[in-house]
Amino acid sequence: MHDRYRLGPLFLSGSILLAGACLALGSEPGSFDRSLPVAGPVYLDVKSDPGGVVITAGAAGTVRVHAVIKPLFGRLDLDIAEANIRALEKNPPIEQVGGRIRLGYVKDPSLLRAVSIRFEVETPRATEVHATTTSGGIQIDGITGPVVTATTSGRTEISNVAGEIRVSVQSGSVIVRNAGSSAFVRSQSGGLQLAGVQGAVDAETTSGGTEISDVAGSLRTATQSGNIRIENAKAAVVARNSSGSITALQAGGSVDAETRSGAIRISQLNPAPIRALAGSGSIQVQLASGGGYQLDALSHSGKISAPTAVASLVSKDGHSLRAPMGPGGPLVDLDTRSSRIEIR
């Protein structure tokens, strides 16, 4: 008798799962494809709410659009999703006036209920892009730009763009590679990775680590929580951190680094001003070999170590150093309230 009663709930559970699977099969993903002829530069405006956007460089003279429409399953939304998918397939949200193309601007917002649209676009290299998503990643590769993107939730990855790049993210990581001009990035929550930027960089995230390398122009970066690492910046560097370390290696220009809680590490290829302020953390600086500097270092509760040429000029208590190094030169201003300072 006990086994018989156990079989009842199991049978019902299996029936419900089978019924759910059958309902799901009733709303299959949809798609549409279009080839749009263009002459000259293209301005591409893509909106995905939600879904995702992938844009790559293709042949000249044609913009090819492939869209996948998927149902967002909910207990009461399957019939709605099915109807909306078929309606969007019949009348794709595509607008073209010459070289200006808009994708995803649905005139009847109710058609987006219970569905997502992912756009995959091949466009001539001479294309400017504006792309937005509420939920879904953005990938762009190989166009001239400029590029402007915004997403509420999702990863943004931009590579091999010749023009200016501007990225805004509320939640999601940002990756920028091989940018031919400047890059401006803002993220509320997510890590940042930028490499090979020929122009200036201005990158901020509220929460997340930051890695930046091989930047030809000036560099400014900030985070409230997460470590910052910079390598091979050829021009001036400004870095701010509320909670985390700052590392700037092989700097070709001046460095201005400040963190409330975390260590600071700097190495410099050419003599230029250095300012490093740590509320709680050590400071380590490797100066350009053979260069002249003016040293001004203060550690409130830690010792200072310095090269042999100026080691004897450290104060008796070991907490401060003011002296020229070599023939003198750019100011090296170092200050930590709670740790040591090492100058090499």
10-residue averages of pLDDT along the chain (344 residues): 42 40 56 97 96 97 97 73 94 98 95 94 98 96 98 97 98 97 97 98 96 98 97 98 97 98 97 97 95 94 92 91 95 95 96
Confidence at residue 1, expressed as pLDDT on a 0 to 100 scale: 42
DSSP-derived letter for residue 216 is -
What b-and-e string marks burial along 147-175, b requiring 16 or more CB atoms within 10 Å of the CB?
bbbbbbbbbbbbbbbbbbbbbbbbbbbbb
Confidence at residue 5, expressed as pLDDT on a 0 to 100 scale: 38
Q: 107 in a domain, yes or no?
A: yes
Q: 48 in a domain, yes or no?
A: yes
Confidence at residue 75, expressed as pLDDT on a 0 to 100 scale: 54
Give the Cα separation of 317 and 339 in Å (integer): 14
What is the residue-wise DSSP string for 256-292?
Answer: EEEESSS-EEEEESS---EEEEESSS-EEEEPPTT--
Give the Cα separation of 228 and 241 in Å (integer): 8
Cite the DSSP H helix spans in 153-307: none
Cβ neighbours for 189, distance < 8 A, ≥ 6 positions apart: 170, 171, 172, 205, 206, 207, 208
Q: 55 in a domain, yes or no?
A: yes
Q: 117 in a domain, yes or no?
A: yes
Confidence at residue 25, expressed as pLDDT on a 0 to 100 scale: 44
Asked if 176 contacts 167 with a C-beta cutoff of 8 angstroms, the reply is: yes
Q: 88 in a domain, yes or no?
A: yes
Q: 57 in a domain, yes or no?
A: yes
Confidence at residue 74, expressed as pLDDT on a 0 to 100 scale: 62
Confidence at residue 27, expressed as pLDDT on a 0 to 100 scale: 56
Q: 67 in a domain, yes or no?
A: yes
Q: 122 in a domain, yes or no?
A: yes
Domain enclosing residue 98, as ranges: 29-132
Confidence at residue 29, expressed as pLDDT on a 0 to 100 scale: 86
Confidence at residue 21, expressed as pLDDT on a 0 to 100 scale: 41
Confidence at residue 142, expressed as pLDDT on a 0 to 100 scale: 98
Per the structure, the count of domains in the chain is 1
